[in-house]
Amino acid sequence: MDPIVVVILTGAVAVLSVVTIVALIVLLRRTGGGPIGPSPAQMAEVQTELEAARREAADIRAKAENDAGEILRRSELAVEAAAELRKEAEAESRGLKYEIKELRSDLERRENRLAEREQRLDEEARRQAERARKLAETETELAARREELDRVAEERRAVLERVAGLTGDEAKTELVREIENQAKREAALIIRQIEGDARKEGEKRATKIVTLAVQRVATEQTAESVVSVLHLPGDEMKGRIIGREGRNIRAFETTTGVNLIIDDTPEAVLLSCFDPVRRETARLTLEKLVLDGRIHPQRIEEAYERSKAEVRELCVRAGEDALVELGLTDMHPELVTLLGQLRYRTSYGQNVLGHLIESAHIAGIMAAELRLDPTLLKRCTVLHDIGKALTHEVEGSHALIGAEIARRYGEHEDVVHAIEAHHNEVEVKTVEAVLTQAADAISGGRPGARRESLEAYVKRLERLEEIATSYDGVDKVFAMQAGREVRVMVKPDGVDDIQAQVIARDVAKQVEEELTYPGQIRITVVRESRATEFAR
């Protein structure tokens, strides 16, 4: 039997004995410690208590047996768990032993590899030492040979110096000079060839782009002046326009700011003013007064206000039509109004608004050929002369005035730069500015675009010939193609080819600085050599 069960049963017996002894003691106390021989009632009571004590002892024993069984089951489970733990511990011990064995074998392999590597390193160190020894011997041998070669070279140099009559430094300097001259000559030839090829290719592409742009643009030729003519229904209307003692004509000129010229021209009057918008407003005012027939100061003021509003609306509409034609949007209303005002302004007989639209079309075509943004180029070109709308009101160049206006109304900085640089008053920094200049020159320089007075034309041709004749070596000068080309004949014995190029460049620069002209002028310097002999 399990020792734990024995101990439990022994405890139960001891408890039962204790209960019996307790019952006897109680019995003795109840008898008062008298003689033995209790009464039957006492014996019955004692018997009852003994029975109760026995039952209690039996219960205690049963409970002890149950507890002993439970403890036995638990001990069995503990024994089983201990057996499992022992098995697991043995398995882990076997695994650890295997791992330790593997680690030992790996460590042995690594130790073997390290030993082999150390052996190879020792061999490599011995080879390096041998190589260093051989290199040292080779360096010593080379040093000896170098000294021998230096000695031989010095002897040869001394012999050459005696033969040539030059020292080594002098000979080196002469050789360097000769090589340098040869290199410069070859470089100059290469540069000239590259520049020639680039110039030919650039001229070819530029000619193609400009030709395509000009061919695709067809515009009207306009010729306007600073004087407007209004035809009258009859000569009696002149008297009504003048009024009593010139009252009406004075009121008209005061209100409109335009000079009204009434002469002997039948059925016509002239309106003269430097401001084309003001002149157009006055023409519409006078036209309304003539149609109405009632001419007096109050009617003049009323007609002038109506005409002023009508011209303003026409200017806005003209500006909007120009932007619609060019496909431009998001332009400030004030710029649109100023652009429309250029409808009534001319430059060398060319309508400025028409010039701007034409230039914008040309710039857009060239931008498309060059794979640039056509919209940006059109915007730059259509606004490049916007300052002409205010040149009579603001001091300064129309290019700088236009740039300031564009900057004030939020135009892009590239547009502002193209406006201020289109007459080279500001250094050109962008491709857009260059194309704006080109489009402006093409539009203004095409045949029939602009006109000038005969006197100014003759003076310009005379000045062209005077400028070219003032240079040394020039024999004859001819202004040709209506002043578009100047041919300069130079003396071949006094001017070489390089000097001819210098003369052409200097003449072109002086013409740019002194003369004002539309488009461009070609300067051609001709140098011709002739050899003449007689056969006898």
What contacts 507, CB < 8 A, 6 or more positions away?
467, 468, 471, 486, 488, 523, 525
Q: Are 257 and 327 part of one and the same domain?
A: yes
Specify which of 410-414, 441-445, 525-529 reaches the highest per-range mean pLDDT: 410-414
Domain boundary among 90, 110, 140: 140
Examine the domain organization and report whether 409 and 341 are in the same domain. yes
Q: Contact at 8 Å (CB) between 237 and 290?
A: yes
Chain-centroid distance of CA 430 in Å reads 13
| CATH number of the domain to which 514 belongs | 3.30.70.1350
pLDDT tens per residue across span 247-287: 888 888 888 888 888 877 777 888 887 777 788 888 888 88
The reply to whether 316 and 410 lie within a common domain is: yes
279 in a structural domain: yes
Give residue 41's domain range. Answer: 3-140
pLDDT exceeds 80 at position 407 = yes
Inside any domain, residue 235: yes
- 39 and 131 housed in the same domain: yes
Phi, psi for residue 363 in degrees, rounded to 5 = -65, -40
* Strand (E) or helix (H) holding 5: helix 3-31
Domain assignment present for residue 301? The answer is yes
Long-range contacts of residues 244-252, Cβ cutoff 8 Å, at least 24 apart:
247/296, 247/297, 248/295, 248/296, 248/297, 248/300, 251/296, 251/297, 251/300, 251/301, 252/282, 252/285, 252/286, 252/300
8 Å CB contact between 418 and 430 = yes
Question: Are 513 and 396 within one domain?
Answer: no
Give the DSSP H or E segment for 468. Answer: helix 454-469
pLDDT bin (cut points 50, 70, 90) of residue 37 is low
Residue 135 — left, alpha, or beta (φ > 0 → left; ψ -120 to 50 → alpha)? alpha
Tokens matching residue 498: 């390089």
Listing DSSP states for 206-243 in one string gives HHHHHHHHHHT---------SEEEEE-S-THHHHHHH-
Tell how strand 350-351 and strand 346-347 pair up: antiparallel
In whole angstroms, give the CA distance from residue 114 to residue 116: 5
How many whole angstroms separate alpha carbon 467 and alpha carbon 475? 13
- Do 434 and 351 fall within a single domain? yes
Instruction: Identify the band that residue 417 occupies on the pLDDT scale cut at 50, 70 and 90.
Output: very high
Report CA torsion sign: 106, 110, 116, 117. positive
**Do 247 and 130 belong to one domain?**
no
Average pLDDT over residues 12-26: 56
Domain boundary among 95, 121, 140: 140
Could you list the beta-strand ranges (E) of 116-239: 227-231
Q: Are residues 431 and 491 in the same domain?
A: no
Owner of token pair 């027939």: 293
pTM: 0.45
Q: Which of 32-41, 146-155, 245-254, 450-459 has the lowest mean pLDDT?
A: 32-41
Query: Is the domain of 310 the same as that of 424?
Result: yes
On the 0-12 / 13-18 / 19+ scale of CB atoms within 10 A, 68 is buried
User: Can you give the pLDDT at residue 224?
Assistant: 45
Our count of domains for the chain comes to 3
Q: Domain check: are 435 and 469 in the same one?
A: no
Segment 305-309 shows an average pLDDT of 89
- 482: region left, alpha or beta (phi > 0 left; psi from -120 to 50 alpha): left
Tokens of 414: 């590239």
